[in-house]
């Protein structure tokens, strides 16, 4: 039996990056997957790959900054599958590399709404469907929220706040057998590529003891599967760092 067989997972921001890698990894592990993002065309490409693993998929166009879209996402999930066992809050819309004084109202509103409020809303929407049989909530955080990374202002604040509500939910929902954890990954993305360009490859190797930036599919997604499986049933309220040891320096 596969690790996530007979499970239903919702993954936000699944059209690319970690969300895409997680959706495919969950499908390979046997889970039916509900994937959402603002661009349906890219989502359908991911859904096709997942279906090739022999699971059922549902691609939902969803702007996580719109509460009605989040409600529709969960409603469609329950309508099709009758349950939700795993929630991965991955989506965020933000602009990085901006000093505190250069933040605009738009950057603030987009980051807080997509990266914090949407997480809050989806956790609350999924809870009633998890409380009878248990579940797994995995919120994607960031090292920026741990080290006070310059020019990451509201993004760092939002990611720190996400782990705050993750810990509270872990304490409140533990008796319902719902585990809630945050994951802090480092993997190839627009951000990591920017770090390479700004600081140079040697500096990144000095920061990350393993000497390289992780790969979403090879390095991060397997941990996402573990955190969604029964293997992690006694882990909750934790900040799981999958960063090649990058946090050791801080």
State yes or no: pLDDT of 202 exceeds 70: no
111 or 151, higher pLDDT: 111
Range scoring the smallest mean pLDDT among 43-57, 105-119, 186-200: 186-200
pLDDT the model gives residue 74: 98
Q: For the chain, what is the domain count?
A: 1
Residues 33-64 pLDDT 10s: 999 999 899 999 999 999 999 999 999 999 99
What CATH number is attached to the domain comprising 174? 3.40.50.720
- Domain annotation covers residue 24: yes
Q: What is the pLDDT of residue 246?
A: 81
Q: Give CA separation, 71 vs 43, 64, 78, in Å.
A: 19, 10, 11
Instruction: Please indicate, yes or no, if residue 191 is contained in any of the structural domains.
Output: no
Q: What is the side-by-side strand order in the sheet with 8-12? A: 57-61, 32-37, 8-12, 86-89, 135-140, 178-185, 239-242
Tell me the pLDDT band of 250, cut-offs 50, 70 and 90.
low
Q: Determine, yes or no, domain membership for 203.
A: no
pLDDT at 95: 80
User: Residue 112 domain-assigned?
Assistant: yes
Query: Would 1 be classed as within a structural domain?
Result: no
Average pLDDT, stretch 102-131? 96
> Which residues are annotated as catalytic?
155
As a whole number of angstroms, the distance between CA 250 and CA 151 comes to 17
Q: Does the pLDDT value for residue 199 go beyond 60?
A: no
Residue 206 lies in a domain: no
Residue 71 lies in a domain: yes
Q: Which residues pair with 242 in a beta bridge?
A: 185
Residue 131's pLDDT is what? 96
pLDDT of 201 > 70? The answer is no
pLDDT exceeds 60 at position 24? yes
In this structure, is residue 151 part of a structural domain?
A: yes
Structure tokens at 160: 């720190």
**How confident is the model over 123-129, as a mean pLDDT?**
98
Residue range of the domain that includes 56: 8-185+216-241
Range with lowest mean pLDDT among 52-61, 120-129, 137-146, 168-177: 137-146
pTM score > 0.75 for this model?
yes
pLDDT of residue 200 exceeding 80, the answer is no
Q: What's residue 207's pLDDT?
A: 77
């Amino acid at each position: 039996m596969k690790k996530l067989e007979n499970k239903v997972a919702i993954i936000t921001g699944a059209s690319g990056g970690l969300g895409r890698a997680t959706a495919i990894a969950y499908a390979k592990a046997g889970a039916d997957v509900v994937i959402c993002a603002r661009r349906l065309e890219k989502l359908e490409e991911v859904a096709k790959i997942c279906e090739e693993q022999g699971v059922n998929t549902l691609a939902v166009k969803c702007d996580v900054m719109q509460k009605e879209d989040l409600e529709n996402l969960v409603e469609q999930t329950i309508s099709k599958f009758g349950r939700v066992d795993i929630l991965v809050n991955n989506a965020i819309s933000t602009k990085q590399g901006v000093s505190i004084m250069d933040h605009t109202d738009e950057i603030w509103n987009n980051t807080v709404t997509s990266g914090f409020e949407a997480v809050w809303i989806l956790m609350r929407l999924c809870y009633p469907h998890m409380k009878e049989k248990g579940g797994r909530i995995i919120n994607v955080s960031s090292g920026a929220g741990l080290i006070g990374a310059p020019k990451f202002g509201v993004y760092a604040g939002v990611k720190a706040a996400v782990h705050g509500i993750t810990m509270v939910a872990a304490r409140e929902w533990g008796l319902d057998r719902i585990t809630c954890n945050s994951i802090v990954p480092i993997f190839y993305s627009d951000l990591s590529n920017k770090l390479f360009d700004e600081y140079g490859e040697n500096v990144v190797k000095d920061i990350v003891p393993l000497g390289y930036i992780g790969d979403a599919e090879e390095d991060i997604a397997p941990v996402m599967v573990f955190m969604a499986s029964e293997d992690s049933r006694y882990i909750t309220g934790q900040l799981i760092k999958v960063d090649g040891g990058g946090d050791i320096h801080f």
